[in-house]
Amino acid sequence: MSCDWDIRCVDCATTLHFSDANHQDELMWALIKHRDAIAALAPLLVDADVELSSHYGRIDPVWFLAHAGHRLVPIDEYGALATACCEYVTCSCGSRRRCTLDLGHAGDHDATKR
């Protein structure tokens, strides 16, 4: 099954989007791992005619700089964080949603959108 990936700032609820990053969750983890190095490039690229990019689109150092110290996690095109439980549960409204709690959580599942 196809599944595109982006990077989500859990603290700000904003997303750095990529284009057709199908099955690229490991790439998103690698970008997150090197986030400080990417953010450090921001001053060099702001007024320069240079762009940092991948096959899947622009890697924005300014975005990484703005989210320094925040919790960044890969998010799939269906809205599930790579660190979320994702078991399907019935919401109080009657719809079925994925559990948004972290993997290995204690207690009942929670379908509240993060």
**Residue 33 DSSP class:** H
* pLDDT exceeds 70 at position 99: yes
Torsion angle of C-alpha atoms 97, 67, 7, 85, degrees rounded to 10: -40
Q: What counts of helices (H) and strands (E) characterise the chain?
A: 4, 7
Query: Is residue 21 within 8 Å of residue 6, measured between CB atoms?
Result: yes
72-93 tens-digit pLDDT: 999 999 888 888 887 888 877 7
pLDDT at 1: 63
7-62 tens-digit pLDDT: 999 999 999 999 999 989 999 999 999 999 999 999 888 777 778 889 999 999 99
Q: How far apart are CA 29 and CA 15, in angstroms?
A: 14
Q: How far apart are CA 102 and CA 18, in angstroms?
A: 24
